[in-house]
């Protein structure tokens, strides 16, 4: 463990947090751990409800890495059991449950990606199915006796849904209890989460007391706004930057954020200091944003790909050129007209008919630099045409003729 003074450790661990329960408890825990010659156990849970992690997750991973750099152990819990329930935190409706196969495929992807930030030598990966998959039903009932319905309805999302007569399943009531019991099983000293996780984290403290364990210190971290600058970053909302995305895709997405939002990315993703951000605000926003995007890409792909992505972005968008490595696409049939919406989906430029229609209505679709604004348009394709959707997606048509 590094010989950092306890006060300095408390300051580093608590930096950028929103809720901190409590600095005094953490100081005591650090002193006791130092006297015993052991690291603190810092818990972080993630439900593999999707195969990719994004920059919103990196906010928490950054804090975990800071704890590791202080010599502490990260207990990274992959909620393979809870993912089949669906975390209701911050949701206005019941979340769909996943199959075991979906969860495990996502969990494998998660493990590969988190070590882009975390130190594997100071990480203990656990699956909460270890203790829940074989738990007898009588234990579930006994565990449930420690929480009341009134306590659950103190959660903002549950209270709102209850007030609006929206359904809340008993399974969702169990979710915070399940997450809290994870803290008991791994004997967590600290637990981190987003601000929408505060209720669950505090419940972990209460359950640890029931099981005669010292209650964990709780820290919540800010939720990173997505590319739209409004909603928190989420894959389901399409406003995310995935850590495993290709360098050019990452760079292009990051350059699309607003001038003001980029400073949140400097602070929460790059962990820039207040002085660095103040100095950065004196620069031209375009220059500052390019640096932010390059630094993020370099973190996950290396300096050379980051520089190449920056240069390609400048070439394409400043010089209005086409990408040098544009993908090609060949339609199933040639010589016949195809609906524009169908074309965009089949060419991989839109995820769905609805997304394609929005692109067209927003004026984001061009064929050979000619804007197409009618979603009902039928297109007869020719070899070599360039289809563009939005600012970053291009495809060259190959008809073989």
Whether 84 and 147 share a structural domain: yes
Whether 192 and 259 share a structural domain: no
Whether 201 and 106 share a structural domain: yes
Q: What is the per-residue pLDDT across 91-144, written as a single tens digit (0 to 9) for each? A: 444 455 677 788 888 888 888 899 999 999 999 999 999 999 899 999 999 999
Q: Edge-to-edge strand order for the sheet containing 365-367?
A: 328-329, 393-397, 386-389, 365-367, 370-371
Q: Which of 267, 298, 318 is the last residue of a domain?
A: 318
In a domain, 85, yes or no: yes
In a domain, 301, yes or no: yes
In a domain, 371, yes or no: yes
Q: Which of 318, 347, 363 is the last residue of a domain?
A: 318
Whether 345 and 304 share a structural domain: no
SS (H, E, C) the chain: CCCCCHHHHHHHHHCCCCEEECHHHHHHHHHHHHHHCCCCEEEEEECCCCCCCEHHHHHHHHHHHHHHHCCCEEEEEECCCHHHCCCCCCCCCCCCCCCHHHHHHHHHHHHHHHCCCCCHHHEEEEECHHHHCCCCHHHHHHHHCCCCHHHHCCCHHHHHHHHCCCCCCHHHHHHHHHHHHHHHHHCCCEEEEEHHHHHHHHHHHHHHHHCCCCCCEEEEECCCECCCCCCECCCCCCCCCECCCCHHHHHHHHCCCCCCCHHHHHHHCCCCCHHHHHHHCCCCHHHHHHHHHHHHHHHHHCHHHHHHHHHHHHHHHHCCCCCCCCCEECCCCCCCEEEHHHHHHHCCCCCCHHHHHHHHHCCCEEECCEECCCCCCEEECCCCCEEEECCCEEEEECCCC
The answer to whether residues 42 and 190 touch, using CB atoms and an 8 Å cutoff, is yes
Lookup: tokens for 205: 């403290």
Whether 307 and 354 share a structural domain: no
Q: What is the per-residue pLDDT across 239-279, written as a single tens digit (0 to 9) for each? A: 899 999 999 999 999 998 999 999 999 999 999 999 999 99
CA distance 171 to 88: 10
In a domain, 58, yes or no: yes
In a domain, 181, yes or no: yes
Number of domains in the chain: 3
Q: What is the pLDDT of residue 94?
A: 46
Whether 42 and 117 share a structural domain: yes
**Residues contacting residue 280 through CB under 8 Å, at least 6 positions apart:** 263, 266, 272, 288, 291
Whether 289 and 178 share a structural domain: no
SS (H, E, C) 291-358: HHHHHHHHHHHCHHHHHHHHHHHHHHHHCCCCCCCCCEECCCCCCCEEEHHHHHHHCCCCCCHHHHHH
Q: What is the pLDDT of residue 247?
A: 94
pTM: 0.76
Whether 312 and 334 share a structural domain: no
Q: Print pLDDT tens along the chain (401 aa).
A: 457 899 999 999 999 999 999 999 999 999 999 999 999 999 999 877 777 889 999 999 999 999 999 999 999 998 888 776 655 554 444 455 677 788 888 888 888 899 999 999 999 999 999 999 899 999 999 999 988 888 888 877 788 888 888 888 887 788 889 899 999 999 999 999 999 899 999 999 999 999 999 999 999 999 999 998 989 998 778 889 999 999 999 999 999 899 999 999 999 999 999 999 999 999 999 999 999 999 999 999 999 999 999 998 888 776 566 666 678 888 876 567 888 898 888 888 888 888 888 888 888 888 877 888 888 888 888 877 888 887 778 888 887 65
Give the domain extent around 262.
Answer: 247-318
**Residues contacting residue 310 through CB under 8 Å, at least 6 positions apart:** 251, 290, 293, 294
Neighbours of 197 (CB within 10 A): 24
In a domain, 232, yes or no: no
Category of 336 on φ-ψ map: left (φ > 0), alpha (ψ -120 to 50) or beta: beta
**Residues contacting residue 314 through CB under 8 Å, at least 6 positions apart:** none
CA distance 265 to 242: 14
Whether 278 and 387 share a structural domain: no
Q: Which of 182, 205, 221 is the last residue of a domain?
A: 221
Distance of CA 55 to the CA centre of its chain: 5
Whether 252 and 145 share a structural domain: no
Whether 260 and 341 share a structural domain: no
The answer to whether residues 179 and 204 touch, using CB atoms and an 8 Å cutoff, is yes
Listed residue (315, 322, 301, 306) closest to 384, CA to CA: 322
In a domain, 75, yes or no: yes
Q: 373: domain CATH number?
A: 3.10.290.10
Q: 311: domain CATH number?
A: 1.10.240.10
In a domain, 227, yes or no: no
Whether 370 and 313 share a structural domain: no
Residue entry with tokens 């975990």: 64
Q: What is the pLDDT of residue 87?
A: 53
Q: 15: domain CATH number?
A: 3.40.50.620
């Amino acid at each position: 463990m590094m010989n950092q003074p306890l006060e300095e450790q408390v300051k580093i661990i608590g930096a950028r947090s929103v809720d901190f329960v409590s600095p005094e408890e953490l100081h005591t825990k650090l002193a006791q751990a130092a006297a015993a010659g052991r690291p603190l156990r810092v818990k972080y849970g993630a439900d593999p409800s999707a195969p990719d992690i994004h920059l919103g997750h990196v906010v928490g991973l950054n804090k975990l890495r800071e704890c590791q750099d202080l010599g502490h152990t990260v207990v990274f819990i992959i909620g393979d059991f809870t993912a089949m329930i669906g975390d209701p935190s911050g949701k206005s409706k019941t979340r769909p449950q996943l199959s075991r196969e979906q969860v495990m495929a996502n969990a494998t992807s998660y493990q590969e990606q988190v070590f882009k930030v975390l130190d594997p030598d100071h990480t203990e990966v656990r699956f909460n199915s270890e203790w829940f998959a074989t738990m007898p039903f009588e234990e579930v009932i006994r565990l449930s006796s420690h929480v009341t319905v009134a306590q659950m309805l103190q959660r903002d999302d549950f209270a709102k849904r209850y007030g609006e007569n929206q359904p809340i399943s008993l399974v969702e009531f169990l979710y915070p209890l399940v997450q809290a019991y994870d803290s008991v099983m791994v004997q967590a000293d600290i637990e981190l989460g987003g601000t929408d996780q505060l209720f669950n984290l505090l419940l972990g403290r209460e359950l640890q007391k029931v099981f005669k364990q010292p209650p964990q210190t709780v820290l919540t971290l800010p939720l990173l706004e997505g590319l739209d600058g409004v909603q928190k970053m989420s894959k389901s909302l399409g406003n995310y930057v995935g850590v495993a995305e290709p360098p050019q895709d990452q760079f292009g997405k990051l350059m699309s954020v607003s001038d003001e939002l980029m400073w949140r990315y400097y602070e929460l993703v790059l962990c820039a200091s207040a002085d660095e951000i103040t100095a950065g605000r004196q620069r031209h926003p375009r220059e500052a944003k390019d640096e932010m995007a390059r630094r993020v890409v370099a973190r996950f792909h290396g300096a050379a790909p980051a520089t190449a992505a920056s240069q390609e972005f400048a070439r394409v968008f400043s010089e209005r050129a086409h990408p040098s490595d544009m993908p090609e696409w060949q339609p199933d049939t040639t010589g016949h007209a195809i609906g524009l919406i169908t074309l965009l989906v089949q060419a991989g430029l839109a995820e769905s008919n609805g997304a394609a229609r929005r692109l067209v209505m927003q004026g984001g679709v061009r064929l050979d630099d000619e804007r197409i604004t009618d979603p009902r348009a039928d297109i007869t394709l020719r070899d070599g045409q360039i289809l563009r959707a939005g600012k970053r997606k291009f495809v060259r048509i190959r008809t073989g003729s």
